[in-house]
Amino acid sequence: MQRCLAAGLLVVSFAGQVQAGRACNEPQDLKPETVEKSMTLAWKTLQALDASGAKVVVMARAGQDLSKYGVRYSHLGFVYRQDTADGGHVWRVLHKLNLCGTAESAIYRQGLGEFFLDDLWQYEAAWVVLSPQAQSAMLRVLQDAQQSLVLHQPRYNMVAYPWAEKYQQSNQWAIETLAFAMTAGTAEPVTSRAQAQRWLQRAAYQPTTLTISPLVRLGARMTKANVAFDDHPDEKRYSDRIETVTVDSVFAWLKRANLSAGDPVVQR
């Protein structure tokens, strides 16, 4: 793969407090075959996006094996088309990343190559094109570094409860930010996380319920800074029902709420 192509897929932008770059491992820490697989997936995805006619999509990657929970994809972000001064365009990814397994997170703006540049569980992407109204609303937010941070909560929890504000995981930030974008300029704009969560409930978003035993919860809490369960209601937590925002639940809801064009496009 030519160096100029790789550079184009990796290009990142920096604005305000949105971070540019990777959250943990540097590219030189990855094996050459991992980089090649990541760049090949990015290139194929770029070609498919160009052919789609879309300006904003919700894209997922399979970063870890979650099959024992019935979950296929681990993480999603917004991918949007940005026109360039020379009449061309690039694809940017805006998403929230945990900072190297800590209890903190940040919002990152990356290229497609950077988004996939990891030791993925499966070299596969899935994406849905947002509805025209949702694309227009999200594009304004995605291009504005300050607006994209309005509902960001740095305290990270991999299994954050969807209807609480103590923590926020990556997929949760995405749908709360979608609520913020969709209500901008309306009679009842979303300006807080509590309002975003109420909007999501009215829009019939349904989180995924994971079955996680007390022993697994205890082990995760003791060994991982980015996992907590104290924001979940006792009656659910003590019956091993952990509700959280998954890619699978987001894709299903976007289709059900007519916020997407249909089923996900899978890219391998």
Q: How many CA atoms lie within 13 A of 9 on its CB side?
A: 24
Rounded to an integer, the average pLDDT of 119-133 is 93
In the chain, the number of structural domains is 1
The pTM is what?
A: 0.90
In terms of residue numbers, what domain contains 223? 3-267
| pLDDT value at residue 18 | 64
pLDDT at 63: 85
CB neighbour list of residue 59: distance below 8 Å, 6 or more residues apart? 45, 76, 77, 78, 79, 93, 115, 125, 126, 127
Instruction: Note whether 222 and 179 are within 8 A (CB).
Output: no
Q: Which helix (H) or strand (E) holds 93?
A: strand 89-98
Long-range contacts of 26-29 (CB under 8 A, 24+ apart): 27/117
Q: Which tens digits make up the pLDDT trace of 205-245?
A: 999 999 998 878 878 777 788 999 999 999 999 999 999 99
N-to-C CA span, the chain: 17
**Each residue's pLDDT tens digit, 7-56:** 455 544 433 356 654 566 555 567 888 889 999 999 999 999 999 999 99
